[in-house]
Structure 1
Amino acid sequence: MARVRLNGGLSRQIAALVARRVDQVADDLAENARAAAPDGKVWQTDADEQVRPSHAKAQGQLIPDNVDFRLHAMVYVRKGRDQDGQGVNAAGGWKEVEGVWDVAERPRDARLPYHQTVNCRCRRIELPGAVAAGVSSSPARPSGRAITASVSVAFPRVAESEYADQGGGWLAAAARQAAAKHRARRR
């Protein structure tokens, strides 16, 4: 039986080679994700006293373009006594319903109830490349017998964007594309 004695630095050299490969895969994934990421959008109001409370709360809402804006649902409360005849509602008017949402792709979206769209002066501001700017990758790190790197996306509601009905699955598609590219290189 023959014994082979390996150089003590060989495992470090192998780990360095594998780490470079893992870095390449992570960089390719990040590049593919940036190319496939949806644009961003922001809800903007005129910020004056005529803006509805639900639209004022949506002011500055920054989200991926393939996700809907969320506006608090509203209900009209009549001026006067409440239904039980107990309290007096002196103000009356439109009130927000907490925890209930109306959703819209843009201001004045046809899916919104009439009272959310009539005389609305809000705008959707397009932000090309905003989600892509939040994509980053970390360098490969050895940990025990594994070498890992990560790719992350920092943007509001980005997880919802990945699973959205309109254009979702962009990050998973980028990962499949990077994996296929590196699998083909091995052959």
Structure 2
Amino acid sequence: MGKARITPGLTARLAAGPVRRKVERITAAAAAETRDRAPDAKTWTTAPDGRARPSHAHADGQTVAENVSYKLPKAATAPDGTPVIAPGYDYASRPRDPRLPRQQSDGCRCHSIPLPGELARATRITPVVVTPGRVSASVVCEYHRVVEAEFGSSQDAGAHFMGQAAQVVAARYRT
């Protein structure tokens, strides 16, 4: 039996042509699957009258994936009875979340505004890079606290939308 040698020129032509196109197809499929699985987002909004407690005013406009908790500064009361921000955070999946202490939830007039498709729109593909011995591209989701959305935290379960997308596409293209 004879041995075949692949010349550097042939390797470069394969990487620049058929292999590159295959990587582009797989990456596009992974991005589409990631977008399909990406959780929606949500934004904390306070009542527009300027009377929100300081911790809620601080959270106003905070936008996170729907499976990630809002991060509110802890609330306290000054000696004169004025609400103030204390060190640390309370976590809430929505305004008036039962996990919040009463000084954060009682009388809260805030809302959580759903933002369908936000993480899907934040997902993109990097250009294919061809180097000697390697052809690669990536699917990237750039969003505030996206690592918590993917893997979870001590407060929330991860959605694993990118990991599951990679598994589905890998199984589809496995030969």
- TM-score, normalising length from structure 1? 0.83
Alignment of 1:77-88 (within 5 A): 77-79=78-80
Report deviation, 1:128.
0.7
Q: Deviations over 1:106-126 (max 9, x none)?
A: 001111011111111100000
Q: Deviations over 1:120-149 (max 9, x none)?
A: 110000011111111111232111211110
Q: Deviations over 1:52-101 (max 9, x none)?
A: 0000010100100000001000122213xxxxxxxxxxxx5222113x11
Alignment of 1:61-76 (within 5 A): 61-76=62-77
| Residue of structure 1 in register with 2:164 after alignment | 173
- What residue identity is the alignment partner of 2:139? V
Partner SS for 2:108: coil
- What residue identity is the alignment partner of 1:170? F
**Aligned residue pair count:** 170
CA-atom RMSD in angstroms: 2.1
Q: Does 1:94 align with 2:83?
A: yes
Partner SS for 2:118: coil
| Residue of structure 2 in register with 1:88 after alignment | none
CA distance in 1: counterparts of 2:137 and 2:162, whole angstroms: 16
In structure 2, the CA distance between the partners of 1:37 and 1:145, relative to structure 1 (3 Å rule), is same
Partner SS for 1:172: helix
Q: Deviations over 1:159-185 (max 9, x none)?
A: 1100124452111010111111110xx
| Residue of structure 1 in register with 2:144 after alignment | 156
Q: Does 1:13 align with 2:1?
A: no
CA distance in 2: counterparts of 1:29 and 1:163, whole angstroms: 18
- What residue identity is the alignment partner of 1:95? V
8 Å contact kept, 1:20–1:140: no
In structure 2, the CA distance between the partners of 1:93 and 1:25, relative to structure 1 (3 Å rule), is same
Identity %: 36
8 Å contact kept, 1:47–1:56: no
- TM-score, normalising length from structure 2? 0.89
* Structure 2: gaps (5+ residues): none
In structure 2, the CA distance between the partners of 1:137 and 1:95, relative to structure 1 (3 Å rule), is same
Q: Does 1:138 align with 2:126?
A: yes
Q: Select the residue among 112, 125, 130 that pairs with 1:124.
A: 112
Partner SS for 2:149: helix
